Amino acid sequence: MPKINRYVDIDTVEREAKKDYIDRHSPFIHCASSAKKGESFEVTVRMGEEYTHPDDFDHYIASIALYNGDVLLAKAEFMAGALGNEKGHQRVTFNIVPTTNKLNLVAQAYCTKHGIWENEPVVVEVA
């Protein structure tokens, strides 16, 4: 089983190199804080807030998956070169339809060199 890494608040990390490493490998969920049951809801997952990730043939973001708790909602896969072989913020927007009263969204991203990275859960109220 691959190692699963989690985002660490970069303010608590002393060295700039460590900030770069953690930030660029961490998925960040961007969405509204509430949704309507049965209606399409947009969730964007972006890799890194400050730092960009490589897009080399042997080091790139191969996939981003979105979960509601333990349930896989959506997954996008990428090939090396998807960002033009330039460093960048890989991102994907998923359109999901909530069917429960609350979403507990977690994103996981797979880096071909550094394994799986996961964000802290984002709670969305569903009315």
Helix, strand and coil in the chain, % to nearest 5: 10, 45, 45
Tell me the pLDDT tens digit for each residue of 49-96.
989 999 999 999 999 999 999 999 999 999 999 999 999 999 999 999
Long-range contacts formed by 9-14: CB under 8 A, 24+ apart: 10/50
Query: How many degrees, rounded to 5, is the angle at CA 94 between CA 92 and CA 96?
Result: 170
Residue span of the structural domain in which 32 resides: 4-126
Tell me the pLDDT band of 9, cut-offs 50, 70 and 90.
Answer: low
List the CATH number of the domain containing 10: 2.60.40.730
Task: Decide: 6 and 117 in contact? Cβ < 8 Å.
Answer: yes
What's the pTM?
0.86
Number of domain units in the chain: 1
Q: Distance of alpha carbon 18 from its chain centroid, rounded?
A: 19
